[in-house]
Homo-oligomer: A and B are copies of this chain.
Amino acid sequence: MVISRSECETLDEQDPLRDFRDEFTLPPGVVYLLGNSLGALPRRTAARVAHAVESEWGLHLGASWNTAGWWDLPQTTGDRIAPLIGAGPGEVLAGDSTSVNIFKAVTAALPLRPGRRVIISDLDNFPTDRYVVEGAAAALGDYEIRDIGTADGALRLEEALGDDVAMVLLSQVDYRTGASHDVAAVTAQVQAAGALMVWDLCHSAGAVPVDVSAADFAIGCSYKYLNGGPGAPAYIYVASRHHDDVRNVISGWHGHAAPFDFEPHYRPADGVRRFASGSPPVLSYTALNASLDIWERVDLRALRAKSVALTSLFIDLVDELCPGLTLASPRDADRRGSQVSYRHSDGYPVVRALVDRGVIGDYREPDIIRFGFAPLYLRHVDAYDAATTFAEVLSKELWRDEQYQRRLTVT
């Protein structure tokens, strides 16, 4: 073995982030490798949410729009996310879902490039990104979507860029393979072609270094590595240089310049606040803010170092224990997010057999087995245990058991 379990224990003792694991509730007897899908529950969250329910809502009711800061949650929460993605104060607004924010970003970006009628979309991107681009383009009318991707025959970005391109939407980290873009280089390439760059940070923020400061827009969710809870508020980043020129087409009263003056017509608030629309789901913001308390203390460079260590360790072990298995993720850590994926034609039953043995990964069509490594609460021994269990399931072909073939409704 490239490393022993006791050597992994030693690495965990030396881990500068080791104490963060105690901040989380994790199910007993489980190695949870789906922090890239739904982050674990911070221990402090339950009490914070209970306080919001029982005191802020139950006792103080509508006064809490002022006294508990409910009204400003989209901005205050956004300002806490900003340092995690390389944005400045006043450039990030938290709210709505990722899909709604993609819609806002696309419909805000396109009018900034009048005369350019092409949107570059990525066939490898998470489906909602592509689907929402289609809806936004159809709504605004007369736009062409030009697909790029890594599949054979698909256009590459450099081939697709031209003086007809208004904007490009890409994910920093691929949700299936974990492959990571060079954000600075791609942003520069897109902007050099006169187009606007919109980044999806769902699979990168909270796990790998993110710096959107040169980009035009970005969106992301907070329920994966940021541990904000199921369906927690998403966020939108709008570079401050665009603030005076952009419109939010979902022009609700929370984004109005003077919402309580009840003016007859819409007048956008200054700054990123104009991207607010309706009332914020306070309980979901409260859970997210409990998690952001933890993030304030995280050294993001140590986080990245641990992410690389865990994913590299897992890859090395699987290389040794499962020869011939196809790694879908980049072997070069510089090109990889905090996720390791493999290709297997029976990926679905393999994942079900793993889950049955306490290793929680997931499956994505057509043949991808995903393991997410959330560096805040995972240990080197978790990577070790996951790799040895994975090897056992594959070498003994435990996944051939009939019970694992049956599809569950949602995976």
What is A's interface to B at a CB cutoff of 8 Å? 25, 27, 32, 34, 37-38, 40-41, 45-46, 49-50, 53-54, 56-62, 64-66, 70-71, 96-100, 102-103, 107, 123, 126-128, 130-132, 134-136, 138-141, 147, 221, 223, 229-234, 247-254, 256, 259-266, 277-285, 287, 360, 362, 364-365, 408-411
Distance in Å: Cβ of A288 to nearest Cβ of chain B? 10
In the complex, the chain B residue whose C-beta lies closest to that of A25 is B58
In the complex, the chain B residue whose C-beta lies closest to that of A54 is B46
Give A285 to B249 CA distance when docked, in angstroms. 26
Cβ 8 A contact of A277, one of B46, B53, B60, B97: B97
Asked whether, in the complex, the Cβ of B280 is within 8 Å of the Cβ of A231, the reply is yes
Asked whether, in the complex, the Cβ of B260 is within 8 Å of the Cβ of A411, the reply is yes
Asked whether, in the complex, the Cβ of A247 is within 8 Å of the Cβ of B141, the reply is no
Asked whether, in the complex, the Cβ of B127 is within 8 Å of the Cβ of A256, the reply is yes
Distance in Å: Cβ of A93 to nearest Cβ of chain B? 13
Give A71 to B266 CA distance when docked, in angstroms. 35
In the complex, the chain B residue whose C-beta lies closest to that of A38 is B62
Q: How many copies does the complex hold?
A: 2
Cβ 8 A contact of A360, one of B61, B65, B131, B261: B61
Distance in Å: Cβ of A367 to nearest Cβ of chain B? 12
Inside 8 A of A284's CB, which chain B residues have their CB?
A: 231, 281-284
Give A104 to B409 CA distance when docked, in angstroms. 28
Given A57-B230, A252-B97, A283 contacting B279 (CB threshold 8 A): no
Give A288 to B106 CA distance when docked, in angstroms. 31
Cβ 8 A contact of A99, one of B37, B136, B234, B253: B253
Distance in Å: Cβ of A346 to nearest Cβ of chain B? 17
Inside 8 A of A410's CB, which chain B residues have their CB?
A: 65-66, 71, 260
